[in-house]
Structure 1
Amino acid sequence: MKTWTGRSLLSAILVLQVASYKHECKLPHYSFQEAFKVFAIVPQVIPVAPKAPLIRYYGDYKLRFGNRIPVAVTNSLSLYSSWPNVDANALYTMITCDLDYPQFYFNEGVQFINGIIVNIPGANYSRGERIIGYHPPSPLPGAGDNRILTLVCEQKTGRIDITTELILRTTASRAKFSITKFLREFKLSNPVAGNFYRSRQYACPPPGKENNDCCDINCMK
């Protein structure tokens, strides 16, 4: 049985209020760290917000801390990611997770892995090594928004040895992944950068019926 604290319940209510806003692609102007609290990511998923924003694009769409990006655009891995204050001599881990698959906003404690890249030299994540390859978000039709979170953490103890056992174990827990446990296991730093967006599968009306709030074309780039 799920136990909700007053704080987590209030955060969920705030999130649902934001998600039900009619023009929900036009978000209020939060600071990026405030957005992580408004969308119930801090402290429900990670204890502290990232130090800096992660700059990331899917096609022409830029992540904007809770904006909506069409599912079709996210089928391919973003080819561009960067963040400030990168240490060129450090190694980083990049984790992308769906916080709401399969249940909208009620997966507190576990996440679905969309991809994990480790041993990234500096900000050159194309040279990183994949523990789990990219799996596009797959929100359930009509189930509402899924929050898709990407975090970057520094590998404080150096290179991560990618073994067959690690790949199999992580893949087996793909639908019940814990970001916080993974960070502890590999002694990763708190997130040095991060960003997130929302995506959903629309249950659109039959062709010809007007509904301006239905389809992905309304989403903010």
Structure 2
Amino acid sequence: MSVSAAFTSSKIVPEVIPTAPTGTIDLKYPSGAEAALGNELTPTQVKDQPTVLYEADNNAYYTLVFTDPDNYDGPEPVYREWHHWLVVNIPGNKVSQGEVLSGYIGSGPPAGTGIHRYVYILYKQPGKLNFDEKKLTNKSVDGRASFSTKKFAEKYNLGAPVAGNFYRAQFDDYVPLLYKSLGA
């Protein structure tokens, strides 16, 4: 299945973004797990920041968004999206040289909330940009809830996403440890 078809069939389009990407982001976790367009992984497998690979123009800058659109399943969709990682001004495909706006936090779906989609979306920036978002460490949950990938992309004129990938995860024994590390 193509990235575009997977994003559409899983309702990432239109729930998270209006247009599906066509390229694939390869995600390999230190645990050995890999994201594969909706496969199920455990929070334990994805607790550490992955290696992120994608085809890139070495003279361009990119934005990488990692988000959970299933954070809140209530009547107010504004609360649904919770971003787990946000890296901007990435030169080519050198994610480690990008500007981290929000440090990486692995998946932590609360007990009893079922399976969540965890989505990686890559944008090619129109150039190097100045971002005014508050910078968050991987121990801070401030400002991560009520995120909108769509609004963020519009704010910075990022256009349509160029690549993506996602997996699904549900509660496991690692989640309480993650919450404790976040002071929750």
TM-score using structure 1 length:
0.69
1:50 aligned partner:
21
Residues 107, 56 of structure 1: alpha-carbon distance in 2 compared, 3 angstrom cutoff:
farther
TM-score using structure 2 length:
0.82
1:91 aligned partner:
61
- C-alpha distance in 1 between matches for 2:5 and 2:157: 26
**Comparing both structures, which one devotes a greater share of its residues to helix?**
1
Which has the larger displacement, 37-46 or 113-122? 37-46
Determine whether 1:72 maps to 2:39. Answer: no
1:161 aligned partner:
130
- C-alpha distance in 2 between matches for 1:174 and 1:115: 9
2:112 aligned partner:
142
Query: Residue type of the partner of 1:119?
Result: N
RMSD: 2.2
Instruction: State, as a whole percentage, how many aligned pairs show the same letter.
Output: 31
1:33 aligned partner:
4
- C-alpha distance in 2 between matches for 1:145 and 1:129: 30
1:81 aligned partner:
52
Q: 2:88, 2:98 within 8 Å by CA — same for their partners in 1?
A: yes
Deviations 1:48-78 (A, max 9, x none): 1112111111231111111011111111110
Instruction: Between the two structures, name the one with larger relative contact order (CA 8 Å, sep ≥ 6).
Output: 2
The Cα shift of 1:31 comes to 2.7
- C-alpha distance in 2 between matches for 1:198 and 1:186: 28
Deviations 1:150-188 (A, max 9, x none): 1110111x222245xx2169x743100011110011111
Query: Residue type of the partner of 1:98?
Result: D
2:33 aligned partner:
61
Structure 1's consecutive aligned runs of 4 or more residues displaced over 6 angstroms after TM superposition are: none
For these two proteins, the number of residue pairs brought into alignment is 167
Deviations 1:103-131 (A, max 9, x none): 39x77454101010001000000111111
2:146 aligned partner:
176
> Which one of the candidate residues 70, 73, 94 is aligned to 1:100?
70
Q: 2:35, 2:167 within 8 Å by CA — same for their partners in 1?
A: yes
> Which one of the candidate residues 137, 141, 152 is aligned to 2:122?
152
1:211 aligned partner:
none
The Cα shift of 1:140 comes to 1.1
